[in-house]
A and B are shown apart, each in its own frame.
Chain A
């Protein structure tokens, strides 16, 4: 079991290195064009999304996982709007409407998740991710 986990994590590290190399290459090709606000915000969105994924994995307290998920959704919105681009000085209205809808859906999902957490806390008295983990049964 441990060997499998080791192999998987090695494969993931290798894939991560490949992707980083690709990202550097992509950055290199865009670097020939002037550094624009779109490039900056796409990079920021990618970084925040990655940080959110990391936070989601390492958080042991479930409320923290929700915080990380909200970071990820903000990154997705930023990515979506930046990549949609602008036309005649105005941002793509469909992308803006989608993000506006997304912001409201994100708060609704967060509120539902928090209601779930409060109930779980009342039932079990704990909220670390271990309550559904190995020693939960």
Chain B
């Protein structure tokens, strides 16, 4: 028996089973937790497929932050979990056939694509072959910050737009406090004093290592965002009704640093969006990490700003 393939089979089966459980529609809280488990299995699949960068990002963002956002929204919505069976409308008749049709179509396309002999090498091969020219040894960071950095810049703009949209929707009322536990509890204080410095350390490592090894601004930002979520949940950071200057600066830092470096390069005769050197990559990545962390924390806190604990 091929053990490697057996592991893949178990993971693939686990994905499908968890997806069925998540959509089976019993208690919503349970389904959200199962969704987080699904995300962790996806992270394992990325690791099996040899993509440590994606595994890190999936574990931190796909499972961690998304799960936290879902759970806090579930609580804000009053924790409604189930509806009376009589109250529940019959599911649309076309749901199952359409789902089978779509799933089969995806399978057909995917299996056919796997069978196609590659005649022309795609962008991936080109990026892999020429990563050395960017001075970065992690080809993914090379793609994100050199070859396709306009995409990455626009991604930062999408994140900013999501936050601005959430602010516009939230309305003018005072943000609701989300914390349940406070630092008065000895366990919470001990947890914070261990986890906060550790996550800052891990985030810094991921950021610095990202140029040569798996890691980068997204993973580092997600780890910091997880730390921010913890600080909001324990009341160390509290939602504030207005965004201070520092918050605004941090939220736009990623996009701003990207544009400044990219446009500034033109002044020295380089084409737009050229990274003039390793320092520029670190500058842009640090700014992106801070923006991602602050934006996701603010989206979790559902507030415009954050302030410290009252003394």
In the assembled complex, the Cα of A22 lies from the Cα of B15 at a distance in Å of 23
* B98 adjacent to A16 (CB under 8 Å): yes
Among candidates A53, A86, A118, residue contacting B302 with C-beta atoms closer than 8 Å: A118
Which partner residue on chain A sits nearest B221 by CB separation? A104
Which partner residue on chain B sits nearest A133 by CB separation? B89
Q: Report the minimal beta-carbon distance from B310 to chain A, rounded to whole angstroms.
A: 25
Residues of B within 8 A of A81 (CB): 46, 49, 51, 54
Chain A window 51-71, contacts with chain B (Cβ cutoff 8 Å), 1 for yes, 0 for no: 111110111110110111011
Residues of A within 8 A of B96 (CB): 54
Q: Report the minimal beta-carbon distance from A108 to chain B, rounded to whole angstroms.
A: 4
Q: A37-B8, A43-B12 are in contact. Are A107 and B108 (CB under 8 A)?
A: no
Residues of A within 8 A of B140 (CB): 93, 96-97, 100
* A19 adjacent to B143 (CB under 8 Å): no
Residues of B within 8 A of A103 (CB): 54, 57-58, 61-62, 218
Which partner residue on chain B sits nearest A80 by CB separation? B110
Q: A110-B66, A114-B70 are in contact. Are A26 and B16 (CB under 8 A)?
A: no
* A100 adjacent to B54 (CB under 8 Å): yes
Among candidates B5, B45, B218, residue contacting A100 with C-beta atoms closer than 8 Å: B218
Residues of A within 8 A of B50 (CB): 86, 89-91
Residues of A within 8 A of B98 (CB): 12, 16, 53-54, 57
* B69 adjacent to A40 (CB under 8 Å): no
In the assembled complex, the Cα of A60 lies from the Cα of B114 at a distance in Å of 37
Among candidates A37, A79, A122, residue contacting B48 with C-beta atoms closer than 8 Å: A37
Q: A41-B8, A93-B124, A115-B165 are in contact. Are A71 and B35 (CB under 8 A)?
A: yes
* A68 adjacent to B54 (CB under 8 Å): no
Among candidates B23, B103, B155, B170, residue contacting A115 with C-beta atoms closer than 8 Å: B170
Among candidates A16, A63, A71, residue contacting B101 with C-beta atoms closer than 8 Å: A16
In the assembled complex, the Cα of A12 lies from the Cα of B57 at a distance in Å of 38
Chain A interface size, under 10 / 10 to 19 / 20 to 34 / 35 or more = 35 or more
Residues of A within 8 A of B139 (CB): 90, 93
* A43 adjacent to B107 (CB under 8 Å): yes
Residues of A within 8 A of B107 (CB): 23, 26-27, 42-43, 46-47
* B94 adjacent to A87 (CB under 8 Å): no
Q: In this assembly, does B131 line the interface, its C-beta being within 8 Å of a C-beta of chain A?
A: yes
Chain A window 19-53, contacts with chain B (Cβ cutoff 8 Å), 1 for yes, 0 for no: 11011001101100101111111111111111111
* B91 adjacent to A78 (CB under 8 Å): no
In the assembled complex, the Cα of A79 lies from the Cα of B9 at a distance in Å of 16
* B115 adjacent to A30 (CB under 8 Å): yes
* B108 adjacent to A71 (CB under 8 Å): no
Which partner residue on chain A sits nearest B145 by CB separation? A97
Q: A16-B104, A84-B124, A118-B302 are in contact. Are A107 and B35 (CB under 8 A)?
A: no
Q: In this assembly, does B209 line the interface, its C-beta being within 8 Å of a C-beta of chain A?
A: no
In the assembled complex, the Cα of A59 lies from the Cα of B35 at a distance in Å of 15
Which partner residue on chain A sits nearest B173 by CB separation? A122
Among candidates B89, B106, B155, B295, residue contacting A101 with C-beta atoms closer than 8 Å: B155
Given A50-B106, A108-B158, A115-B169, output 20 extra A-B contacts at Cβ < 8 Å: A23-B108, A37-B49, A44-B11, A44-B15, A51-B16, A58-B25, A61-B80, A67-B35, A67-B70, A71-B19, A91-B49, A94-B143, A96-B53, A96-B143, A104-B159, A107-B69, A111-B69, A111-B299, A118-B73, A121-B78
Query: Can you list 21 residue pairs at the A/B interface with Cβ under 8 Å?
Result: A9-B97, A15-B101, A43-B110, A49-B106, A50-B103, A51-B16, A51-B23, A53-B103, A55-B22, A57-B98, A58-B91, A59-B23, A66-B70, A75-B106, A81-B46, A83-B114, A87-B128, A90-B50, A104-B218, A106-B66, A127-B77
